[in-house]
């Protein structure tokens, strides 16, 4: 038996719901059909995917299969969406993926320019972390990427875009924000501190020695800002992010932390609609989209 994507989808749905009835309802199939699919899947593997007859607990193998299968199902669904979008894009398709802090600067201006310049063109904009930006470029799922750091990617051209300094981000009435002189690294890391993925771009040994001990790490920028707004936590972020933080939160330079984040523009040389890609790249670089 060849393992089909619908077999994986069936298994993942049962694993997520924990019962055949709800899984069958979500899949639009009968309970017996779902049960038969699972039975055939387990027979093919030669091992059980669930503990006992109930479907509310995965076996050790089931947990491994679920993690891998869910990724494949999501990737398959995304691929189908992209294929359908490309088929409908008779006037062209432009896909841009960016880290959130820069997306807020770039997306509105680029979208307005491209849609005015090329009526009827399809545009896909997505914000995510640096690693997923790079993955999208390598996998051919993005024509343009904007990410932190400069990375060598096969078939992708990188162009330095700008640099911005790291600094303290915390509630605007936090003692470190209201004190008369800029805080030091020691002061910032001596209060409850939240580490974030962008901290990896800071080279200062003194900073890394201390921030590595942080008990809390938050990767989502929105959740991070929500936490520091409470006044109980502080973090360190590039200054670009400060342009979009709420009024109750503020940015301040750290006296002995001169590190800057390098932001690069990535251009997929295998982009399908090269004229659209080049138009957007030129606009970002020459028209001050950032």
pLDDT digits (tens, 9 = 90+) for 2-21: 899 999 999 999 999 999 99
Torsion of CA 187, 192, 195, 196, to 10 degrees: -100
Poorest-pLDDT segment among 77-91, 207-221, 270-284: 77-91
83/95 Cα distance (integer angstroms): 13
Quick one: what percent of the chain has pLDDT higher than 70? Answer: 97
Of residues 65 and 212, the one with the higher pLDDT is 65
Overall average pLDDT of the 213-239 stretch = 90
Sign of CA dihedral 66, 82, 22, 44: negative
Nearest 5°: phi and psi at 158? Answer: -110, 140
Nearest 5°: phi and psi at 33? Answer: -70, -40
Residues of the chain with CATH 1.10.10.10: 5-86
Own/partner long-range contacts of 175-179 (Cβ < 8 Å, ≥24 apart): 176/234, 176/252, 177/250, 177/252
Residue 155: per-residue pLDDT: 93
Residues of the chain with CATH 3.40.190.10: 89-161+262-286, 164-258
Would you state the CATH architecture of domain 89-161+262-286? 3-Layer(aba) Sandwich (3.40)
What's the pLDDT tens digit per position in 39-70? Answer: 999 999 999 999 988 888 999 999 999 999 99
Task: Please state at what angle helix 5-17 crosses helix 31-45, rounded to 10 degrees.
Answer: 110
Residue 138 burial by CB count (10 A; 0-12/13-18/19+): exposed, middle or buried? Answer: middle
Of residues 278 and 211, the one with the higher pLDDT is 278
Whether the per-residue pLDDT at 120 is higher than 90: the answer is no
**Which class is domain 164-258?**
alpha beta
245/230 Cα distance (integer angstroms): 13
CATH of domain 5-86: 1.10.10.10
| The 3-state secondary structure of 168-184, one letter per residue | EEEECCCHHHHCCCCCC
Identify whether the C-beta of residue 89 lies closer than 8 Å to the C-beta of residue 111.
no
Residue 290: per-residue pLDDT: 62
Residue 32: per-residue pLDDT: 92
What's the pLDDT tens digit per position in 151-168? Answer: 999 999 999 999 999 999
């Amino acid at each position: 038996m060849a393992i089909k994507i619908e077999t994986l989808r069936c298994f993942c749905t049962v694993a997520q719901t924990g019962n055949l009835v709800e899984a069958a309802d979500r899949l639009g199939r009968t309970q017996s059909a779902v049960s038969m699919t699972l039975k055939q899947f387990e027979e093919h593997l030669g091992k059980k995917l669930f503990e006992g007859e109930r479907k509310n607990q995965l076996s050790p193998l089931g947990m491994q299969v679920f993690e891998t299968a869910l990724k494949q199902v999501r990737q398959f669904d995304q691929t189908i969406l992209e294929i359908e979008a490309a088929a409908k894009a008779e006037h062209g398709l432009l896909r841009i993926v960016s880290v959130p802090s820069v997306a807020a600067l770039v997306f509105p201006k680029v979208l307005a320019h491209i849609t005015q310049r090329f009526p009827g063109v399809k545009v896909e904009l997505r914000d995510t972390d640096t690693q997923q930006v790079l993955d999208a470029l390598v996998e051919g799922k993005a024509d343009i990427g904007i990410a932190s750091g400069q990375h060598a990617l096969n078939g992708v051209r990188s162009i330095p875009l700008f640099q911005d300094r790291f600094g303290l981000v915390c509630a605007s009435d936090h003692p470190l924000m209201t004190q008369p002189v800029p805080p030091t690294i020691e002061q910032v890391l001596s209060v409850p501190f939240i580490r974030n993925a962008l901290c990896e771009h800071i080279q200062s040994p003194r900073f890394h020695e201390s921030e590595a001990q942080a008990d809390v790490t938050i990767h989502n920028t929105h959740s991070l800002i929500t936490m520091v707004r409470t006044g109980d936590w502080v973090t360190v972020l590039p200054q670009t992010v400060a342009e979009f933080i709420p009024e109750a939160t503020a940015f301040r330079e750290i006296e002995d932390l001169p590190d800057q984040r390098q932001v690069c523009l990535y251009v997929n040389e295998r982009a399908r609609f090269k004229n659209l890609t080049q138009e957007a790249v030129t606009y970002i670089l020459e028209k001050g989209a950032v």
